[in-house]
Structure formats: C-alpha cells, structure tokens
Chains A and B, each alone.
Chain A
Amino acid sequence: MEWVWTNFGLIWGLTLSQVWLSALPIVIGFAVSIPLGYLASRSRVARSLLLSVGGILYTIPSLALFIVIPVIIGTTLLDPINVVIALTIYAIAIMVRSSADAFASVPSSVQDSATAVGYSRFQQFFAVDLPLAGPVLLAGIRVVSVSTVSLVSVGSVIGVSSLGFLFTDGFQRQFYTEIWTGIVGTLVVAAVFDIVLVLIGRVLMPWNRRSKPQLARLIDSKRSVVAAK
C-alpha cells in the first residue's frame, strides 16, 4: 500500500491517459455509429454490409491492429493515436449493431404517426427515433465502454502509456502490488465510466428511470425475441 502513496503521481498520470485513451474512442465511436446504425435500420443491404465489415474488423486481435494502423496511416508506432483509432474501430463495430437494432426497435406505428402529424424526416429522427432508440443505445454504449477501458492497457505492450504500464513494469520488476494497482485502477475507471453513462442516460431519458445492469437487459431482450415469435 505504501508504494501506492509514494507513487501516487505516476498512478494518477497513467489513470488520466487511460481515461483519455478510452474516452475518445467511446465518444467518437458512438457519434459515428448513430448515422451508420440508422442507415442500417433503413436498408437491408446497408445492414448486412455494415455488420459484416464490422464483424471482420472486430475479429482482428488488438495487438496486431495497434501495429498495422501506423503502417497504414503513416504515424509512428508510439503515437497514442494508433490506439485511439484501433479502439474506435472496435467501438464502431460493436455499436453499429446496437444502434441498428435500437432504431429498428422503434415501432413503425409511432413513425407513421409522426409522419401523419407532419414531422419532416429530420424532425422525426431527432424528436421520435433517437429518443425511442435511447435505452438500447445506452445499453450498447455501456458494453463498448467496459471493453474499451480494458483494451487500452494492451497498448502498453507497444509502449503507449496507460495503466497497462503498471502491468508490464510490475511484471519486469516482479512486483505484485504494482500489477494489482493497475488491475484495480482499470476496474475503477470502467466503473466510473459506467456510472457516468447511466447518469447521462437518466438526465437525457427521465422516462427510463429503472436502468438494469447490461447483461440482465440483454437476456431480457433475448426473451422478448423468443416471446415475439
């Protein structure tokens, strides 16, 4: 424990870069996935195309992607932007599917009503589709958030510093406290992100007060798929 206090500056710095390196992909991935997911919910061709490309990209192991991206875009290997781009790709790959399903879950009767009342397509998207898709979007971005935070640490193998540095450094020094600090720190960052997302969801969607844990939610939706048959 004493090590943690004497090295608090280092740990705090690493935590901050962990936060940055994971917040950027989560936010960018979410922003990009909304229009793509909307497109996928409107066209079958777009849906199968986007989902299969996403599936293929998601298959690529992270360490290999961290190495290939600088070769493609011409950055140096140590540039943190590589990690951000790789994790954004993963985030989009997961999130496009969630947001396509979120928009597809908006009842068509509601959309027809909006059209009948005279909403333009644009108005309908922001006033009807987006709010109704909200809860499923939130569930999706929570999954993205947790996996992004834990993937960031792999970047420390190629020298992009985050809490993962405590794993590689702790291993080389055979020092358990350091590694455990990194693990706990990663879990804390993931938990804080999750809480923030749930709070944002509560503020933006006050009608959706009861927010269940994500996996319970997935299972519930699975049930509804079964029940709908």
Chain B
Amino acid sequence: MNLFIDGFAWIFDPAHWMGGSSIAVRLGEHFQYTGVSLLFAALFAVPVGLFIGHTGKGRGVAIAASNVARALPTLGLLAVLILSLGIGLLPAAIVLVILGIPPLLAGVYAGIESVDPQTVDAARAMGMTELQILRKVEIPLGASLIFGGFRAATLQVIASAVVAAYFSLGGLGRFLVDGLAQNNNPELVGGAILVIALALVVDGILAVIQRFVIPTVSSGTRSTKRTARGGAVPPVAQSRTLIKEGQ
C-alpha cells in the first residue's frame, strides 16, 4: 500500500510536470495517438459499417474479421508491424488504427442492423431514397449502438497505446516501461495510476455523452429483462464486450 503513496507522490512531484518527458507531455502524446488513430479508424470503419448494416452484404466477412481481431494478441501485432515499418509514430499509428477498426465497425453495423426492418420499409414506402433512409432513419435509431462502438474503440486504442510504449512509443505507457526497466517503483505505480485514471475519465465522459446527448429509441430498448427468447443482452453491452480484442 505504501507504494501507492509513493506513486501519488511521484505524480504530484512538480519536477515530473516539467521538461520534454513530463507527465503533461506524455498525456498529450497519448491523446494525440488516440485521437489521430480513432479518426483514421473511423474514416474506414464508419462507411464500411454503414454499407454492411444497410445492405447486409459482407456481414460474414466483417464477423470473421472481428473474431480474428479479437483473438490476435496486440503485443505480437505491434511487434511485427513496428519491426517491419520501423520505430516511430507512423507504424505505431497504423497499428492503433488497425486495432480501433473492429470495435468501431462492429458498433456501426450492429447499430444500423438493430433498426426494425418494418421501420425501414415504412421509410422506403414513404418514398425516401436509400441515402435518406440511412441518414434520417437508420443512423438516428442506431446512434446509441454506434456510439457504443466508438466508446469501445476508444478504450481499445488507449489501452493498446500503453502497450505500444514497450516498442519505444511515447504516451503514458512510457512511465510503465521505463519504471520497469529502471526498477523505479514510484514511477511504475504512478504511471499505472495515471493510465487507469485516463481510461476511467475518458470512458466516464463518453458514458455521460452517450446517456444525455445521443438519442435513444424510446420503446424500452434499454429494459431488456425477460424477453421471450434467450440472450436478451442490451445491445450496447454487446458492443462493449467486443473491446479488449486482445490488447
């Protein structure tokens, strides 16, 4: 328990907040990696997910890809890609993008697919074009699940960026890896506390956004207790289980 006190003392030591490898700089790097990787992951995953969800084409491929991605060990993937592309921001970013895509893709297509087919048919009967159906019906109705996928992808990327520090990347993971290498327990524990705090705060903020900003379908989507058939898993919960695809 004493180590926790050391860890917090390390965090609050002003000396660790100054200079080129300060906590603030590492935190900034972590946000930068996460933000950039999510942006590029979204550029791929959102259109593809919308297409699969709307048309139902390529679902098998997407499912298989998510399954394999879940089983692939992040550490191994990072090792191979960083070794072949060289150490630096770009290869690490590529890995983080690859890791962010599956949860995001799963969330987007599950969100679109969760929309009641009767509702979609009604929209079609009213004369909406396919794009209008997607924009005005399917995306708003599936928004909660889609955002759930984004939340899962965010956590996946944050956690993977920590591991990526092993391969000479910056970010908060540096404190863990350096602390380990130098047998510096205060730095090690302090770094771990920072990583946990970052994950909890970011996920908390996203949870609040999901709760208050993202429209939810009113007809009792959330209370899925005791539905007639098995597996009445709240949809958001499902896309959340898709995270941790082997970070």
Binding site for B on A (CB under 8 A): 51, 55-56, 58-65, 67-68, 71-72, 77, 90, 94, 97-98, 101-102, 104-105, 107-108, 135-136, 139, 143, 146-147, 149-151, 153-154, 156-159, 163-164, 166-168, 170-171, 174, 176, 179-180, 182-183, 186-187, 190-191, 213-222, 224-226, 228-229
Distance of B156 from chain A, by nearest CB (Å) = 10
Q: Chain A: which residue is nearest B173 at the CB level?
A: A63
Residues of A within 8 A of B79 (CB): 167-168, 170-171, 179
| CB <8 Å contact, B196 and A68 | yes
Binding site for A on B (CB under 8 A): 1, 3-4, 7, 59, 63, 66-67, 70-80, 82-84, 110, 113-116, 155, 158-159, 162-163, 166-167, 173, 176-177, 180, 188-189, 191-193, 195-196, 199-200, 203, 219-221, 224-233, 235, 237-238, 240-241, 243-247
8 shortest interchain CB distances as A-B pairs? A150-B246, A221-B231, A61-B159, A105-B230, A64-B195, A64-B192, A183-B76, A67-B192
Residues of A within 8 A of B116 (CB): 226, 229
Main secondary structure, interface of B, reads helix
Residues of A within 8 A of B231 (CB): 101-102, 105, 136, 139, 217-218, 220-221, 224-225
Residues of A within 8 A of B110 (CB): 219, 222
Cβ-neighbour of A225 out of B75, B84, B235, B246 (below 8 A) = B235
**A–B Cβ pairs within 8 angstroms, 11 of them:** A51-B237, A61-B247, A97-B241, A105-B229, A146-B67, A154-B73, A157-B177, A176-B83, A179-B76, A183-B80, A228-B227
| CB <8 Å contact, A224 and B189 | no
| CB <8 Å contact, B232 and A71 | no
Distance of B25 from chain A, by nearest CB (Å) = 19
Cβ-neighbour of A154 out of B74, B155, B203 (below 8 A) = B74
Given A62-B247, A94-B241, A228-B228: A167 touches B163 (CB 8 Å cut-off): no
| CB <8 Å contact, A59 and B155 | yes
Separation of A186 and B232 alpha carbons in the complex (Å): 31
Separation of A58 and B200 alpha carbons in the complex (Å): 10
Distance of B173 from chain A, by nearest CB (Å) = 7
Separation of A187 and B55 alpha carbons in the complex (Å): 31
Separation of A104 and B237 alpha carbons in the complex (Å): 15
Residues of A within 8 A of B63 (CB): 213, 215-216, 219
Separation of A149 and B71 alpha carbons in the complex (Å): 8
Task: Add 5 more A-B contacts to A164-B76, A183-B77 (CB < 8 A).
Answer: A63-B192, A150-B73, A153-B75, A167-B73, A229-B220
| CB <8 Å contact, A224 and B114 | no
Distance of A60 from chain B, by nearest CB (Å) = 5
| CB <8 Å contact, B246 and A183 | no
Separation of A154 and B158 alpha carbons in the complex (Å): 15
